[in-house]
């Protein structure tokens, strides 16, 4: 068994060495080969120098150096793509996650879970700007994805390689991997982890992230349900709008015929025109989406399904 720890690092000069020593202490005790992938996400402080010196002393420390700041999700994604482990554990590099939790994650994976998600039950961050928005976001994500875990935002999670190797991450999407994996048949669980206040350096996020997370959620949900058939989504809405447009138009005409109201006395004609135009637009958008989707699958020879096993096929 091989374990890969993935650390996204953006201006963490005060934390890297302490974290490294804590990691080594824990990892040297477990019965597994390991590697520590450090992704320097365009730091402007001494992070890179520190990483270079660590990696020259210890070959297990691998450094991926980004040209610019591409964000935590991109950094995690690069680390995961270049990792070799059968089990992958990403965690924050700011000492808010605790390396001592690693053996517990491994235990859970050994029990047979494909994804183990950390739950910062006693989270040491601000209440109003961090914890409350996060509770609300977690509730919404749980509702929409149908995968109920308490703390999507915790970056410390453990994954079996096979559930994560084909996942492409964009935006703030690293937090949705458990949902993604679960939709594709993975067994997901969660586990309480320790959480510490940030001592060195500063958080890189504010309240704005909550909105980005919700937007990403919409994309993830859309892609999971309608990826193969976008016309059903846009076309459905389009038909609804078009039908309502016809009904409101008819209503305007009927009101006039029965002498109740002149057509220009009601908002119905404008509403009708609007709904019909929107309806046609939505259907057209659905057709465009279908074409894009087909290009996506066919240009890459991807199939819109996942086969688990095949029986009696030679080879």
Contacts of 34 (CB under 8 A, 6+ apart): 2, 3, 4, 5, 27, 60, 85
> Which one of 84-92, 152-160, 182-190, 222-230 is the stretch in contact with Mg ion (CB under 5 A)?
84-92
Placement of tokens 């720890």 in the chain:
5
Gap between the Cα atoms of 64 and 82, Å rounded: 9
Q: What does the CA dihedral 166, 169, 173, 177 come to, rounded to 10 degrees?
A: 20
> Which one of 70-78, 164-172, 212-220, 238-246 is the stretch in contact with ligand UDP (CB under 6 A)?
70-78
Q: Which is nearer to ligand UDP, 203 or 243 (CB)?
A: 203
> Which one of 88-96, 138-146, 170-178, 276-284 is the stretch in contact with ligand UDP (CB under 6 A)?
88-96
First to last CA, the chain: 26
Closest distance between ligand UDP and the C-beta of residue 269, in Å?
Answer: 51
72 binds ligand UDP (CB under 6 A): yes
228 binds ligand UDP (CB under 6 A): no
The interface partner of residue 204, options being ligand UDP, Mg ion, none and the CB cut-off 5 to 8 Å by kind, is ligand UDP
Gap between the Cα atoms of 290 and 189, Å rounded: 35
Q: Which of residues 160-189 bind Mg ion (CB under 5 A)?
A: none
C-beta separation of 117 from 178 below 8 A: yes
- Write phi, then psi, for 65 (nearest 5 degrees): -110, 110
CA 284-286-289 angle, to 5 degrees, is 115
239 binds ligand UDP (CB under 6 A): no
Specify which residues 191 forms β-bridges with.
Answer: 118
Closest distance between Mg ion and the C-beta of residue 99, in Å?
Answer: 15
51 binds ligand UDP (CB under 6 A): no
94 binds Mg ion (CB under 5 A): yes
Closest distance between ligand UDP and the C-beta of residue 49, in Å?
Answer: 16
Closest distance between ligand UDP and the C-beta of residue 21, in Å?
Answer: 17
Q: Which is nearer to ligand UDP, 54 or 231 (CB)?
A: 54
Gap between the Cα atoms of 17 and 269, Å rounded: 69
96 binds Mg ion (CB under 5 A): yes
Gap between the Cα atoms of 206 and 14, Å rounded: 21
Site residues (CB under 6 A) for ligand UDP? 8-10, 12, 41, 69, 71-72, 75, 92-94, 96, 203-205
Site residues (CB under 5 A) for Mg ion? 92, 94, 96
């Amino acid at each position: 068994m091989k374990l890969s720890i993935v650390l996204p690092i953006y201006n963490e000069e005060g934390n890297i060495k302490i974290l490294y020593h804590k990691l080594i202490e824990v990892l040297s005790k477990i019965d597994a080969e390991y590697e520590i992938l450090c992704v320097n996400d365009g730091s402007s402080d001494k992070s890179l120098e520190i990483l270079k010196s660590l990696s020259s002393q210890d070959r297990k420390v691998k450094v991926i150096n980004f040209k610019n700041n591409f964000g935590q999700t991109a950094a995690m994604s690069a680390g995961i793509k270049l990792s070799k482990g059968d089990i992958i554990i990403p965690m924050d590099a700011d000492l808010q996650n605790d390396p001592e939790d690693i053996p517990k994650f491994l235990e859970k994976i050994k029990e047979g879970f494909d994804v183990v998600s950390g739950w910062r039950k006693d989270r040491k961050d601000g209440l109003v700007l961090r914890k409350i928005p996060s509770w609300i976001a977690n509730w919404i994500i749980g509702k929409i994805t149908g995968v109920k875990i308490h703390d999507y935002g915790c970056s410390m999670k453990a994954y079996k390689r096979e559930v994560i190797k084909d996942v492409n991450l964009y935006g703030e999407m690293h937090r949705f991997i458990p949902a993604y994996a679960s939709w594709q048949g993975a067994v997901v669980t969660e586990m309480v982890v320790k959480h510490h206040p940030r001592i060195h350096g500063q958080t890189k996020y504010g309240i704005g992230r909550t909105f980005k997370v919700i937007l990403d959620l919409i994309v993830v949900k859309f892609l999971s349900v309608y990826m193969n058939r976008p016309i059903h989504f846009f076309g459905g809405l389009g038909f609804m709008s078009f039908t309502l447009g016809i009904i409101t138009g008819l209503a305007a005409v009927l009101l006039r015929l029965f002498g109740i109201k002149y057509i220009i006395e009601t908002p119905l004609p404008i509403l009708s025109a609007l709904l019909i135009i929107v309806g046609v637009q939505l259907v057209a958008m659905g057709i465009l989406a279908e074409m894009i989707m087909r290009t996506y699958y066919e240009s890459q020879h991807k199939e819109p399904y996942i086969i688990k096993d095949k029986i009696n096929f030679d080879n």
